[in-house]
Amino acid sequence: MNPLPFRAYSSFFSLLIISSALISSVYSPSVRAASDEACAIWMCLPTGFGEGCRGPHKEFRKRTRRHQPAMPPFQACMARPEGDTTEITDHYESKTGVAAYIPSHSVCSNYSSKNGCLDYTTVDEQVIKDEACHRTSKDGPYRPSGCTKTLRYTEVYRNGLLFGQTAYYD
């Protein structure tokens, strides 16, 4: 059996690299345009998925359940007709993270050493962004104090400023 000459290996290797690059660019998710429903999440999420956003809300839930990004990259939604030279002046981006959820609860607001708690105050529910519920030890209390679960959240920013409301979800 004669080994192939170096030139044959070189040609085969070059062909392999080029075909791999071509296949990865064709099947790359960032190259494909996103669906209309997925792109509409960019406008519906900040409004709380109000009227006319049923399809985008369904797509958002599907994407988050599958542990996909909550919405496609904004650039994947920017297909414009050929010849359209209109400059896009707004810059959109999203932020996704975790948040610690603390439900509303009662705390003692007037304590007597003789009679115990005399009065209670209700503390409103609270969400602490960019912090997960966790324990410092196996049997210790959850931190932050009163935390019951970790949520995920997604926000849309327009020109660096929060656009609409934050969407929280499990």
How far apart are alpha carbons 147 and 161 in whole angstroms? Answer: 28
Residue 42 domain-assigned (yes or no) = yes
| Helix or strand holding residue 58 (H, E) | helix 54-65
Contact, 162 vs 106, CB < 8 A?
A: no
State the total domains in the chain. 1
Residue 16 domain-assigned (yes or no) = no
How confident is the model at residue 33, as a pLDDT? 56
What pLDDT, in 10s, does the model give residues 18-55? 333 333 333 334 444 589 999 999 999 999 999 999 99
Residue 20 domain-assigned (yes or no) = no
Residue 28 domain-assigned (yes or no) = no
Residue 27 domain-assigned (yes or no) = no
Residue 24 domain-assigned (yes or no) = no
